[in-house]
Structure 1
Amino acid sequence: MWELRHRGGGGPGPGGEAASPPREGEAAGGDHETESTSDKETDIDDRYGDLDSRTDSDIPEIPPSLDRTPEILKKALSGLSSRWKNWWIRGILTLTMISLFFLIIYMGSFMLMLLVLSIQVKCFHEIITIGYRVYHSYDLPWFRTLSWYFLLCVNYFFYGETLADYFATFVQREEQLQFLIRYHRFISFALYLAGFCMFVLSLVKKHYRLQFYMFAWTHVTLLITVTQSHLVIQNLFEGMIWFLVPISSVICNDITAYIFGFFFGRTPLIKLSPKKTWEGFIGGFFSTVIFGFIAAYVLSKYQYFVCPVEYRSDVNSFVTECEPSELFQLQSYSLPPFLKAVLRRETVSMYPFQIHSIALSTFASLIGPFGGFFASGFKRAFKIKDFANTIPGHGGIMDRFDCQYLMATFVHVYITSFIRGPNPSKVLQQLLVLQPEQQLNIYKTLKTHLTEKGILQPTLKV
């Protein structure tokens, strides 16, 4: 536990809670005056003290998480060493989570979006709770309430933008939604301003620095969780394959790096994560690239995975039906000379997406783990083993998705930079929302343009 360094004492006692202020007539330390019970401002100052004098060593140790391993597993594995017991617990829970993930994939795109949203909220809760345990010990107001308020505001902004982009035909039929979409950014800004003003009104004298620190904590948490989960959903709309291959590559790298490290690990990789080894890192890399290449080949065969996810107003549901693009059609590629001699063939047939999958899986295995290292540094800074104890043997949800958020950003940038072209369906949806006069002007402009290029024949004037 920690001790807060007041100039004359009076810091928090064991458990991280603030010690009671000195009673009237008692000395609060060599440099403190006797507390006046009628002076509320002095009472606040004495309660909070000089909080800005804290150093890293003053960070409170958060109590260790409770063990939530099911009793049936504890009994079944009671005879094993702690190392092998952890191995089996992690393995069983990993297979369970993968099975549930397959079930949600079968249930469709909408359920995957709900899953992403649920994970986002849980990750936000785990990170904010760490700050709240430090912050709440001073009984300062509004931090947790404002944190969740800002989460709602940011989600309202991002998902409102998604509603406007992908569900324009549905919005066009609902008059109330048209108003919300038209003024969406102004409403979002007004909601944020309300939270901003509430934060300013909650400031407590001699505690400003810590409160601004926690204000920044909330916003960085929002940046990590909400914006990244929004990018995950944007990737999903490009086609489920852009969601599944990157996520499964990170999962594969996490599992195979753990297995190689468990059995062959000898050389430490990074001080932030003492259990990570070079053997696990290298073994995970090659396994992930091979897995990504095979997964891309399997998924590219099915429209369900490769077609962009669209909302069809006529059937009132999401659909994944299309003519697959060239990215998901088999192509013949000439092999390099050294491979021709090994494979004894001139060409090989594969999907172009498989080449992209190599780039995705390479990032997942070489750069993705740095998201985990970042999370390890964060946990060490606050002297905790895991973000939470949601999943036995794994820690919290954030412990399992620390690499996924970094991967989501890369995939979004990759699609934008190398893959995505103009989306005719999205352009058409936006055109249908315009006023008739605007639609007519666009029609005339497009007709003139196509006529000048010789695609359309000029209309004869009578």
Structure 2
Amino acid sequence: MAEVRRRKGENDASDDAGEKAGEGDKRNSAADSSDHVDSEEEKLPEDKFVDELSKTLPQGTDKTPEILDSALKDLPDRWKNYVIRGIFTWIMICGFALIIYGGPLALMITTLLVQVKCFQEIISIGYQVYRIHGLPWFRSLSWYFLLTSNYFFYGENLVDYFGVVINRVEYLKFLVTYHRFLSFALYCIGFVWFVLSLVKKYYMKQFSLFAWTHVSLLIVVTQSYLIIQNIFEGLIWFIVPVSMIVCNDVMAYMFGFFFGRTPLIKLSPKKTWEGFIGGGFATVIFGIIFSYILCNYQYFVCPILYSEELGRMTMACEPSYLFTKQDYSLSVFGIGKSLSMYPFVWHSVALSLFSSIIGPFGGFFASGFKRAFKIKDFGDMIPGHGGIMDRFDCQFLMATFVNVYISSFIRTPAPSKILTQIYNLKPEQQLQIFQSLKESLGDLITN
């Protein structure tokens, strides 16, 4: 009886296997007839090659110059990392000060170089995924889209701030008038290129990495475009927010290192509430003091404009209301007191609160991204810190906030932008505007 039951079970199992095989054949035939179904091996992301990726990608904090490594070999790993991180933090701060001394052009070039390096570090991870499957053109397409994105966004900046001058050069007027059309045409070339590069049974992988490229562009290129706009509003709108993020990062690390006990977020286990709160208080105090100091210097507070008379960029101006001391009356416990302060300092409090409360979430986002691929850092360019992206993950979020803050609460219509639009009108439309202005300003013109 046992033998009969065993044979019956084997027959039932073989029948079930036959039915499953039949269903499998149907599924396979359906997969063969449909080009958009990926093979079983194409699931994203698979642990079998995530581990392999983590070995091939650089681990920045593990890379230390031999001189420092030998000098600090007797220190515990915790203190060794603290010293290395501190040394290269001061090197970066001094380098940043030198770039500021170089002026707006040096800052803009640095922003562009940082943008390119950050993009390279993000895309290199995607490229490792892509290379495993031997798929074509991913890296070339990624850099092409970076080029076209920069042409569009940086071209917009040139049109906004130099449109009046460019319009007077006949062979450049075409580039201003049709800038957006040319940018879209360049993007279409990349779009067609991508479609032609699609490989059967790898469509899901390729479209995932296409999205990867575009999200990287959104994070990196658009943010650097906003940074450039902030610089044109006055160096103070760039230097103060960047310094706040640096201060918050350093002080949160210091407070966490010496007093940290309570974990803050699972994405970044080393972050603590003590570091988060201590870094926040330090950033607010630093922001008030640093902003007050910079407000005293015309070099930092004046917007950057192109002077037609001088034929170059100029930063000479009469400081606006924001950077002119105002008297404020304060009453504390019934005791009145007068305080003379720059209005910008009050705005700096809002900037410092954002940099210390919301800014760190840019770092948490980057931590989650790195944990997904089991890597410590985006690169190995800066010992003790990792890659460029590891240091600028919070800066890009801050840049967006500053730009939104300026456009919402600070900026007024710019005459240069209005003139650029007027120059693009037909002669009869320009004449109509001239007549309207002449009528409304008649008394002033007569006087």
Instruction: Decide which of 291, 299, 322 is 1:296's aligned counterpart.
Output: 291
- 1:313 positional shift: 4.2
Q: TM-score, normalised by structure 1?
A: 0.84
Q: Which stretch shows the higher mean deviation, 428-437 or 187-196?
A: 428-437
Query: Does 1:266 find its partner at 2:281?
Result: no
State the one-letter code of the partner of 1:388.
G
1:50 deviation in Å? 2.8
Instruction: Classify the secondary structure of the residue corresponding to 1:145.
Output: helix
Q: Distance in 2 between matches of 1:350 and 1:425?
A: 31
Query: 1:238 deviation in Å?
Result: 0.6
1:373 is the counterpart of 2:349 = no
Correspondent of 1:51 among 21, 38, 41: 41
Residue 412 of structure 2: aligned partner: 421
SS of alignment partner, residue 346 of structure 1: strand
Percent of aligned pairs with the same residue?
62
240, 245, 252: which one aligns with 1:250: 245
Number of matched residues? Answer: 411
Alpha-carbon distance in structure 2 between the residues aligned to 1:389 and 1:186:
39
Mapped to 2, the partners of 1:55 and 1:314 lie a distance apart of 59
State the match for 2:172 in structure 1.
Answer: 177
Please state whether the residue corresponding to 1:391 is helix, strand or coil: coil
Deviates more, 1:241-250 or 1:65-74: 65-74
Q: Answer yes or no: is 1:359 the counterpart of 2:354.
A: no
Q: CA deviation at 1:55?
A: 5.4
Question: Cα gap change, 1:450/1:315 in structure 2, threshold over 3 Å: closer, same or farther?
Answer: closer
Once the two structures are TM-superposed, the CA of residue 432 in structure 1 deviates from its matched residue by 5.5
Displacement of 1:404 in angstroms is 0.5
SS at match of 1:335: strand
Query: Which amino acid letter does the alignment assign opposite residue 276 of structure 1?
Result: K
Q: Is the 8 A contact 2:164 2:419 kept in 1?
A: no
Task: Give SS of 2:136's match.
Answer: coil
Question: What SS does structure 1 have at the residue aligned with 2:50?
Answer: coil
423-432 or 214-223, which deviates more: 423-432
Task: Judging by fraction of residues, say which structure has more helix.
Answer: 2
Match of 2:221 in 1: 226
Give the match for residue 317 of structure 1. Answer: 312
Specify every segment of 5 or more residues in structure 2 that has no aligned partner in the other structure, as ranges: 1-20, 26-31
Q: Which residue, 104, 127, 132 being the options, matches 2:99?
A: 104
**Structure 2 residue aligned with 1:240, among 235, 241, 262?**
235
Where in structure 2 are the equivalents of 1:44-443 lying within 5 Å?
A: 49-54=39-44, 57-58=47-48, 60-61=50-51, 62-63=54-55, 65=58, 67-338=62-333, 346-428=337-419, 430-431=421-422, 437-443=428-434
1:169 Cα shift?
Answer: 3.5
1:436 Cα shift? 5.3
Contact 2:260 2:274 in 1 (8 A): yes
Q: Which residue of 1 aligns with 2:28?
A: none
Query: Are the counterparts in 2 of residues 59 and 382 from structure 1 also a CA contact under 8 Å?
Result: no
Q: 1:257 to 1:350 in 2, by over 3 A?
A: same
Q: C-alpha displacement at 1:91, in angstroms?
A: 0.6
TM-superposed deviation, 1:68: 3.4
CA distance in structure 1 between the partners assigned to 2:369 and 2:317 by the alignment: 44
Q: In structure 1, what is the Cα distance between the partners aligned to 2:424 and 2:197?
A: 43
Answer yes or no: is the 8 Å Cα contact 1:234–1:412 preserved in 2: yes
1:108: how far off? 0.5
**Residue 152 and residue 427 in structure 1: after superposition, are their counterparts in 2 closer, same or farther (change >3 A)?**
same
CA distance in 1, matches of 2:375, 2:216: 17
Distance 2:127 2:259 in 1: 40
AA at the equivalent of 1:357: S
For residues 340 and 358 of structure 2, the distance between their equivalents in structure 1, rounded to whole angstroms, comes to 29
Residue 425 of structure 1, CA deviation: 4.2
Deviation at 1:175, TM superposition (A): 2.4
- Select between 84-93 and 69-78 the one with higher mean Cα deviation: 69-78
Deviates more, 1:236-245 or 1:439-448: 439-448
Distance 1:372 1:94 in 2: 17
CA distance in 2, matches of 1:201, 1:409: 35
C-alpha separation between the residues in 2 aligned to 1:111 and 1:99?
Answer: 15
Which residue is equivalent to 1:23? none
Q: Secondary structure at the match of 1:78?
A: coil
Provide the C-alpha distance between the structure 2 equivalents of 1:172 and 1:192, rounded to a whole number of angstroms. Answer: 25
Cα distance per residue 1:247-269 (max 9 Å; x no partner): 10001000000000000000000
Question: Over aligned residues, Cα RMSD in angstroms?
Answer: 2.3
Q: Deviations over 1:232-281 (max 9, x none)?
A: 00111111101111110001000000000000000000000000000000
Which amino acid in 2 is paired with 1:65? Answer: P
Distance 1:431 1:102 in 2: 40
Aligned partners of 2:163 and 2:416 also within 8 Å: no
Q: Which is further off, 73-82 or 150-159?
A: 73-82
TM-score, normalised to structure 2, is 0.87
CA distance in 1, matches of 2:100, 2:196: 46
Higher relative contact order (CA 8 A, sep 6+): 2
CA deviation after TM superposition for structure 1 residue 49, in Å: 4.5
Query: How far did 1:450 drift?
Result: 3.3
Alignment gaps of 5+ in structure 1:
1-29, 34-41
